[in-house]
Structure 1
Amino acid sequence: MRTAIILPWLLFCTCGAQTWTDVQAGSQGPGAPASAELSSLLDISSEIQELRDMVLELRVQLRITQNDLESTKAAMKTKVEGLEMENAAQQTEMTLVKTRLSASAAELKNLKLEITAAQTAEQTDTTTPRTEEANLTKDSGALETNLSDIEATPDSLKMDRAVHEKDLKSLKARLAATETKVETLETKLTTPKVAFSAALTDSGTTAAINTDLNLVFSRIITNVGQAYSSRSGIFTAPVSGVYYFRFTVVDHLASRMMVIQMFKNGHQVMFLNEYGDDGQATYLSSGVTLQLKVGDEVSMKLPAGYRVYDNGNNHSTFSGFLLFALNGME
């Protein structure tokens, strides 16, 4: 840039010196050529001035561009540092998640081992009474044989017979107790496990317009034993016994009432209602213990003209489970 300025300046100086000599010479000759050369000199001077102004303007633009580049560089550096910090935080979080995952896997493994041990212990508990029963039966048979032999002995051995009869009576009592224990364990092992919980819906309000509505809690949470139908909303008892049922329903009541019913085999078991006038969510809950036979049905109904509400948060639910079985119940 400096060279571009110096060269025109040297040219100007050279032309100026030559022109001055020509002017002095021209003062002794005709005036027309000297005037033309002076005009040319003035044009060159004007162009040099324009070039100088352009150089100054370019310097100003260059300085502005350098400042912009420095600002952009600083901003990019700050952004890169922020991304590096965010990356480090994500790496730390990923490490924590992996640690928790490993701990969960170890816990799951321990739970599986505990379940296996419990099942083994339960099988052992079942086998031990059976073995004891067999031994007692064997001992009882032996004592009965001895009793028969004693009856054929002289009167001097009748006292021993009484002792053996007492022992035999004790063994028979132990045998009866063991048989009862075995039956209890067999019942426990053969009784199905029954438990369910289901939410109503995730689509908002469910209303009974003109007729009673059988409520179908369609969103299964738990259904051990598959005794509850998410299509019909009916629970069917798979085994005779005593069951516990519980329900919760909700609605936004504004000067209106919420009503819910529970039925067993088409007969009403419970009728509950709740009134609200503030437009806020109002909950209605209750539970009951029912003695059911195989095939008995339990369901929830919404009377005509009433409504309930539910969404993905499972506000309205229906649950039940088997407390204990009743053998021989018709």
Structure 2
Amino acid sequence: MRSAAVFLALLLCLQWTWAQGESGEVTGTDAETEGGNRQEEVQFEIQGVGAAHDQSSSQTNISPDIWAELKELRDMAIEQKVELRNSKSKIEKLEQENAATQARLTASESKNAVLEAKMSFYEGVVKELQRENMVLETRMSSSENEVAELKRENADLLARVTANENKITVLETRMSSSENEVAELKRENADRPKVAFSAGLTDAGPVGPFNTEITLKFSKVFTNIGQAYSPTTGIFTAPVRGVYYFRFTVWGGRPSAWMGAYLYHNEKRMTLSYDYNDEQAYVSASNALILQLEKGDVVYMTLYPGSGVFDDSFNRTIFSGFLLFAL
């Protein structure tokens, strides 16, 4: 009976120690100190139980298996105590890690709050930029329309300028051709001899009549370009081969008389112009010819035999001629 009572007391001590470990009221160094004390107490109690067992072994017949079971219970209690201490250490470490995680979470939440504030600010900036972009796009579209209109107007102007340039080119070509023609004409005119003459017969009044032909000497020279006409002889000498124009007028003032003159090319009579004055105070005759002359050919006028002509300061009887073109 005594051994059974000791065994029950030991079990109660072990149960109380286990309850103290599970209650979690003792932590840190106190738990280690108390655990050491409890372990010593358990060992002491076990030793006491062992001593009591030794003292009473001789008096009682308790089975030796009880002692072995007590040892096993002691070992189990110690092992559970160690495991409990390790579990507490792990719990403390987890609590520290949890605190660090919580601190990091708080910091992250603060950063997130800052980032959200920045994000909200940037969203406002983005909206403002989008609004400005829409305004710029509208202005750009308007500018593009204006540019397109200017390009169209520029194309029209360019087409008109091109047309004008083409016209100018044509006009320049024509002008160049005209200038070349003018230059050629100037050159031809410069190269072509300038021949023209005009002369009156006399200021003395009547000339003739004579029984034979006489050469009329037109002594009043009005024009004699090229000096091809001689007022001394009354003969025109062609300076170049060409086509010449000649004209003359003869006038008579003697009543009841003939008035007339011949035009000669070299020795050939070309024309005769004459009239009879039937007491009307005066008569006149005119004629003109175009003659092709060789260089050195002569043209002159003679008085028709038995007739007379009249001239005075009014230049009634004249002889003229000029070169049309050289051949």
User: TM-score band (shorter)?
Assistant: 0.3 to 0.5
The alignment's TM-score, normalised by the length of structure 2, stands at: 0.43
TM-score (norm: length of structure 1): 0.43
